[in-house]
A and B are shown apart, each in its own frame.
Chain A
Amino acid sequence: QSALTQEASVSGTVGQKVTLSCTGNSNNIGSYAVGWYQQISHGAPKTVMFGNSLPSGIPDRFSGSKSGTTASLTISGLQPEDEADYYCSTWDYSLSAKVFGGGTKLTVL
């Protein structure tokens, strides 16, 4: 049971906008910025968003937001290469540890 809850799977067509969500509580998402990580075919994870900041080299079709205890990663203009597993993560002060969501498998139809 992950501390953060993500959809198990999401799908979209090329060019579509999709939003992945990550739900926590006041101990984690409600208090800290959220990071989003992309993992393609079980390769090494890559950071696609931390807080509302886009890392260097990540296309600006990726954007992040947060409302209360839910964070979201939006991909506008979905591309075939965006097909991957996406994980959210943040700090949890009640655990004094980082926590991950269970991951969302994004399929590009």
Chain B
Amino acid sequence: EVQLVQSGAEVKKPGESLKISCKGSGYSFTSYWIGWVRQMPGKGLEWMGIIYPGDSDTRYSPSFQGQVTISADKSISTAYLQWSSLKASDTAMYYCARHGTLVGAGDYWGQGTLVTVSS
């Protein structure tokens, strides 16, 4: 069974760093892309970026380029989304999703990680 399991909710202060994770199981982790999606409170879905764990090829949305870093550790089938300096506006739910191709739709989704940034 394909599963994407994300790390738990986080509460951070502005300026702090953070790395959240998405662990894949039930399939060949290095053969599928993993994308990240943001959903701010009461808002729609926003695509952030995507990584191919097989060779670490990474693409970012222009809106998120330079704001976050996407990485993966194929030895433990885990993708990451990280911030070096959080802002209050990073408060949101973050989802990972598996994609068969770079341009294709996501087929399986993680359960989401709630990130709250507040002083």
Contact = CB atoms under 8 A, between A and B. Distances in A.
> Is chain B's interface secondary structure helix, strand, loop, or mixed overall?
strand
> Is chain A's interface secondary structure helix, strand, loop, or mixed overall?
strand
Nearest to A49: B105
Contacts of B59: 96-97
A34 B45 CA distance: 15
A33 B104 contact: yes
A50 B44 contact: no
Contacts of B115: none
Given A44-B112, A97-B59, A50 B45 contact: no
B35 interface: yes
A37 B45 contact: yes
A39 B37 CA distance: 13
Interface of B: 35, 37, 39, 44-47, 50, 59-62, 93, 95, 97, 102-112
